[in-house]
Amino acid sequence: MKSAPSAPPIVFHNGTVVLPDKLLPDAAVVCEGDRIKRVGHLRPLPRGATLVDAKGGYIAPGFVDIHVHGGDGADFMDGTADAVRTACRAHARHGTTTIFPTTTTGSPEQLSAMLQACLEVQRSRTDDDGARLAGVHFYGPYFAPDKVGCHSQAGRRNPEAREYRRHFDTSIIRIATCAAELPGAEAFYREARKRGCLITCGHSNATWTEMARAFQAGMRHVDHFWCAMSSVASLRQRYGTPMQASMEQFVLANPEMSTEVIADGCHLAPELLEFAYRQLGPRRLCLVTDANRALDMPPGRYRFGCAADGEWIESDGRVGFVPGGGALASSVVGLDTMVRHMKAATTASLPEVIRMASLTPAERAGIADEVGSLSPGKRADVLVLNQRLQVKRVLLGGVAMAAS
């Protein structure tokens, strides 16, 4: 179904509309062209419209994923437009309509190839390309040596202006990560701030003091809370006593900081998800997939990062892990699974859970004027979810995608 300006409006009806702060039972969403036109109780429905029956389920905004590595066999670091499109299509089937392809550690050439592939897909977008690329999350390679996790250690390094300026010059980087304790981290943050990025600290063993300095330089977010980050215990190992506050306390104590959780049921126990929700609230907590290429693939061994030389990880179909060791190695499920699990595992309401997967990440990434909620004027990225929160229909910029 194409949606040229002359095409009839698309009306989602017979469902509960999910707004950021409440549910609107038995309401409708009208889309015209690539925009949302009206939201609310509409009787009668506009004449000549294409009707989409939500069948008593939910009409929700498309999801926004700010931390995601791949899917359906492709990793964004494979560095080809084909790989980028494959992963974006896979995530669209899970309800993600806006995506920030995320780098791993790797050589400067591998990172350049990834950025170029994303630029190519963004410039030549077609209706079949799946989740729309809103920018790249430049995540690896500036990780702390002791917090590299499942990424390739050989691809890790300290920030160097000559390298990252070249990457920033592509103008496609919208989110930028660096471990706060690395030499040159503050200069990296200041450069990222100049470029208008959401600045984040991850794969880091930073102290409160290092976080405070990073905050001064513009850092406002921490990647996958509790994973590959400092704790009071890890800092005691680094510095002894008196024990020091860590990234965890810095985020919880500072209302300008946001973070994200991998709510797949494998990374974090329900009480941690509930704790994060209660302490941070739905405006400071994002749901991300952090999914690797094993999403929608059978259990087995996969490369994390570049197909040529990424580290081997294993998927059991529920989560990724390091072979033999048992350490987790990112997720293998979509944002729809995260939404269902967060709803089941915590006391967050449905509007709050959906907000954490749509408007909150959009706000943090600076694209909430365009996407993230069902508001007139925003892009027509609309989902139909059934009562069990499974994705039944996906509208991407006014264009319907085949149901999963």
Check residue 336 for interaction with Zn ion (CB under 5 A): no
The closest alpha carbon to 337, from 317, 307, 363, 308, belongs to: 317
DSSP structure string for 198-225:
EEEE-S---BHHHHHHHHHTT--EESST
Residue 230 CB, shortest distance to Zn ion, in Å, is: 14
User: Which range, of 108-116, 181-189, 290-298, 343-351, touches Zn ion by CB under 5 A?
Assistant: 290-298
Check residue 260 for interaction with Zn ion (CB under 5 A): no
| CB-nearer residue toward Zn ion: 14 or 110 | 110
Number of residues that this document lists for the chain: 404
| Number of helical H runs and strand E runs in the chain | 11, 23
The two structure tokens encoding residue 307: 């197909």
| CB-nearer residue toward Zn ion: 229 or 385 | 229
The two structure tokens encoding residue 243: 């024990």
Residue 242 CB, shortest distance to Zn ion, in Å, is: 29
Binding test (CB under 5 A) with Zn ion, winner from 186, 290, 296, 311: 290
| CB-nearer residue toward Zn ion: 191 or 290 | 290
What does DSSP assign to residue 76? G
Instruction: Count Cβ atoms below 10 Å from residue 35 Cβ, excluding itself.
Output: 15
| CB-nearer residue toward Zn ion: 222 or 374 | 222
Check residue 129 for interaction with Zn ion (CB under 5 A): no
Per-position x/- string for 6-45, each x denoting binding to Zn ion as judged by CB under 5 A, each - no binding = ----------------------------------------
| CB-nearer residue toward Zn ion: 129 or 290 | 290
d(CA 404, CA 397): 18
Residue nearest to Zn ion (CB): 290
Residue 139 CB, shortest distance to Zn ion, in Å, is: 6
Count of residues that interact with Zn ion, criterion CB under 5 A: 1
Torsion sign (Cα): 346, 350, 354, 359: negative
The closest alpha carbon to 158, from 178, 128, 131, belongs to: 178
Q: % helix / strand / coil in the chain, to the nearest 5? A: 30, 25, 45
User: Which range, of 109-117, 179-187, 260-268, 284-292, touches Zn ion by CB under 5 A?
Assistant: 284-292
Check residue 311 for interaction with Zn ion (CB under 5 A): no
Check residue 65 for interaction with Zn ion (CB under 5 A): no
Binding site for Zn ion (CB under 5 A): 290
